[in-house]
Amino acid sequence: MAQGGRRDHMPPALGFQIAMNGKARIFEQTLAQLGAVTREAAVKLFAGLRSDFDRDSASIRNQVEWKSFRDNWLGRKSGVLSQITDNWLKPAEPGLKPVVGQELNALRGHVEAVLEERRKAIEVAAEQSALARERIDLSFPGVERAIGTRHLIRQTFEELERIFLSIGFSVVEGPEIETPYYNFEALNIPEHHPARDNMDTFYIDAPGKPRGLLLRTHTSPMQIRTMEKQKPPVRIVVPGKVYRRDNPDATHNFMFHQIEGLAVDTDITFCDFKGTVEYFVREFLGAKVKTRLRPSYFPFTEPSAEVDASCHVCGGSGCRVCKNSGWIELFGAGMVNPAVYGFVDYDPKRLSGFAFGMGVDRLAFLRYGMNDLQVLFQNDVRFLRQFP
């Protein structure tokens, strides 16, 4: 006995062996040695064994105990039923053998049936226990998982595309690896033109391409490719990545994003160009923002202009964002240079149009009040979470 009067648990197979040892393990003796020479005495012995079996089988708790108990009763060499066969049935008197054989078969059938029932009950209990351990409590709070968002550059792209789609432009995309012809020459920038100096880019040595390939410096090549395939009218915007040999700092990077636009048709005037620019600026920066055009130079537009907007932060009174000038430089634009039409077989006497190109990173930089362009590409979630 354990302390406090509690009986320590022992496996039923071991308990049966101890009980049988206490009875001198009666199945190891013959019926004659036990004095069971009558039918009634033999039946009584079998009834006692069945009672012991039923008592011990009821306390089996798991598969390990069940297997040990089964082997103790049904083992081929030392099992209880095997020993009864050897010690009771075989040496029994001829008149007693039928009774012993009948009782032995009945006991065997009972043992096998009870063991099968206990096996199934143990399996069911084990499954229920596993289900209870693995059950999901729907009343518990769920596991919160971080949900991704669109990058700030992607959001800006989508806003720009939405604005231009609303006034009849379509969106086209093209390759980031270009030929010098489409990137420079077809845009009226010949090989030794000084405008190439500030568009120095990354060149690629490609087999079978004697003039090489390069990473595009703007998305304007798709304007040429579109005009080659499409007759006027043309109204497109071209978003995408571009590359230039710039050292990364707070306002520059060797890779950045642009969206360039082109409109070509009959009778497009500078007024159409100015109206389109003003509409875009108001939609993107706010209805109160004003625009101004400053003369500039680009090889592929003539006349050319820099588009400025009144500072959307201070309203034009002067602040840190606009460097106290009241104006912010946005992008370059102008009327398409007639020389460009010669590369796409357009008639410059009948057609006219305008083009513009703006840095998407810069627009996001200005709109959201950032002071370092590099944060857009550092994948700092503390920054990105501010723009869901």
Judge whether 357 and 221 are in contact, CB under 8 Å. Answer: no
Residue 143 lies in a domain: no
| Residue 216, pLDDT score | 92
| Residue 171, pLDDT score | 95
Residues 364 and 244 occupy one common structural domain: yes
Residues 187 and 328 occupy one common structural domain: yes
Residues 94 and 236 occupy one common structural domain: no
**Interval 77-128: pLDDT, tens:** 888 888 888 888 888 888 888 888 888 899 889 989 999 998 888 888 888 8
CA distance 279 to 168: 13
| Residue 318, pLDDT score | 79
Residue 142 lies in a domain: no
Residues 99 and 31 occupy one common structural domain: yes
Residue 139 lies in a domain: no
* Residue type present at position 11: P
| Residue 198, pLDDT score | 67
DSSP string, 280-333: HHHHHH-TT--EEEEEEEETTEEEEEEEEEE-TTTTTS--TTTTTSSEEEEEEE
Residues 72 and 112 occupy one common structural domain: yes
* Total length of the chain: 388
Look at residues 101, 134, 167 and tell me which one is the last residue of a structural domain.
134
376 beta partners: none
Residues 215 and 100 occupy one common structural domain: no
Residues 105 and 188 occupy one common structural domain: no
Q: Beta strands 213-215 and 301-310: pairing type?
A: unpaired
Q: Beta strands 170-171 and 234-243: pairing type?
A: parallel
| Residue 380, pLDDT score | 82
Residue 147 lies in a domain: no
Number of domains in the chain: 2
| Residue 211, pLDDT score | 66
Residues 124 and 158 occupy one common structural domain: no
| Residue 9, pLDDT score | 44
Residues 126 and 246 occupy one common structural domain: no
The kind and range of the H/E element at 215 are: strand 213-215
Judge whether 214 and 177 are in contact, CB under 8 Å. Answer: yes
Residue 144 lies in a domain: no
| Residue 277, pLDDT score | 93
Which two structure tokens, joined as six digits, stand for 75?
Answer: 């083992």
Per run of 10 residues, the mean pLDDT along the chain (length 388 residues) is 42 44 66 85 88 89 88 86 86 87 89 90 87 78 80 91 95 92 89 72 76 87 93 94 84 87 94 94 89 91 92 77 83 93 92 93 83 81 80
Q: Which domain holds residue 72?
A: 10-134
| Residue 357, pLDDT score | 93
Residue 190 lies in a domain: yes
Q: What angle do CA 162, 301, 223 make, to 5 degrees?
A: 50
CA distance 201 to 224: 19
Residue 363 lies in a domain: yes
Residues 290 and 182 occupy one common structural domain: yes
Which two structure tokens, joined as six digits, stand for 309?
Answer: 């907007």
Residues 196 and 120 occupy one common structural domain: no
Residue 286 lies in a domain: yes
Which two structure tokens, joined as six digits, stand for 120?
Answer: 């199934």
H helices of the chain, in order, are 12-22, 31-34, 39-57, 63-74, 80-84, 97-134, 152-165, 180-183, 221-229, 270-285, 338-341, 360-367, 381-384
**Interval 23-42: pLDDT, tens:** 447 888 888 888 888 888 88
